[in-house]
Amino acid sequence: MQKYSIHNEEKLKEILKENKFPPFRYNQIENAIYKNFVTDFDEIQTIPKDLRELLKANFFYTTLEIDTQKTSANGQTTKTLYKTETGEFIESVIMRHKTGRVTLCVSCQAGCPMACSFCATGKLWLLKNLETYEIVEQIIAAAKMLHEEESLSLRNIVYMGMGEPMLNYDNVAESIRVATTQKKLDLSNRRVTVSTCWIVPGIDKFTKDFPQTSLAVSLHSPNDEVRQSIMPVDHTYPLKDLMASLERYTKATNKRIFYEYIMINWVNDHPKLADELGQLLQWKLAHVNFIPYNAWEGTNSDGFTTTPKIIIDKFQKVLLDKYNVVSTVRMTMWDDIDAACGQLANKKEEEDKEEK
């Protein structure tokens, strides 16, 4: 008998109706799962026993199995390696900020097809698209752990883990709806950020479907020549197409876009690129996040190193003083557990290969 995810609202309501349970029973189940983080159907004491048995016969709560979990030396970051029911490994990262807010970085694919040369995840290629419930399970697992072990609440979600969200759009979209629905996880749409490598059709659809949800773009260069050398996607969606799509986004939403720019020494940190970046983003609703390049196993074969801080500071100064473009430098605090930007990779598979 086929079982369904308990997060499949349509199927749950259908089975409740078929078995002549009143609609309010769904609300009780929903409250138990998303507000009280109940993980065992027998623990839902607000519903009758025959309904609990029906749930156990037709639904499953989670499919992800925790393989390993590591917390950074400063205690701010926890990275969880999950094994999916089909055998792939994915990672999610909890980030505890000094301000008190907590952010979860979730994965939407096992591996990634974008093959960006500076990213460990891209070296895996695409293993599979995650189902909606596999994304939601990452969110609930983090929220439950924070609530029960630290009395903290999950405040922000960023789709910046493994994978390209716009290439698994339907499942990502449904997971956002679960995360932001008031009777479910009840996060503000404004506290959910989706990051893309320039998948233009996805951005256009995202603009219509989620005008209140934040958008981040992996830019990493203000021109096609440099970008194509490190990001193959630029051959499909060049800069002019991207900027036209983002112009449509800001016109429709009046929201600023976060532009992610990984600083790689002697690759995309030349002073003239600071001016090009300023000219590209001047007068736009833009905020640049400079990310110091994070080394990972295999880096030496690509010859990449981190841009010195003094050069990053000069980039920032050019953007602000000449073009009035605001930026921040993202602090790298979690590379001791390979949880920084560009470091998420299937370490379990690599360890297994070494053992063999």
- Please pick, among 108, 119, 197, 341, the residue that the annotation labels catalytic: 341
Tell me the H-state helices in the chain.
9-18, 24-34, 49-58, 132-150, 169-180, 200-209, 224-230, 239-253, 271-281, 299-302, 309-323, 347-355
341 included as an active-site residue: yes
Q: What 3-state class would DSSP assign to 159?
A: strand
Helix then strand then coil, in percent of the chain rounded to 5, is: 45, 20, 35
Alpha-carbon distance of 159 to 106, in angstroms, equals 5
Parallel, antiparallel, or unpaired for β 156-159 and 59-60?
unpaired
CA distances from 322 to 187, 260, 314, 317 (A): 37, 20, 12, 8
Residue type, 97: H
- Whether the Cβ atoms of residue 46 and residue 38 lie closer than 8 Å to each other: no
Q: How many CB atoms lie within 10 A of CB 22?
A: 9
Q: Is 276 left (phi over 0), alpha (psi -120 to 50) or beta?
A: alpha
108 included as an active-site residue: no
CB proximity list for 138: less than 8 A, separation 6 or greater: 64, 80, 82, 90, 92, 104, 106, 107
- Please pick, among 30, 88, 91, 119, the residue that the annotation labels catalytic: 91
Active site residues: 91, 341
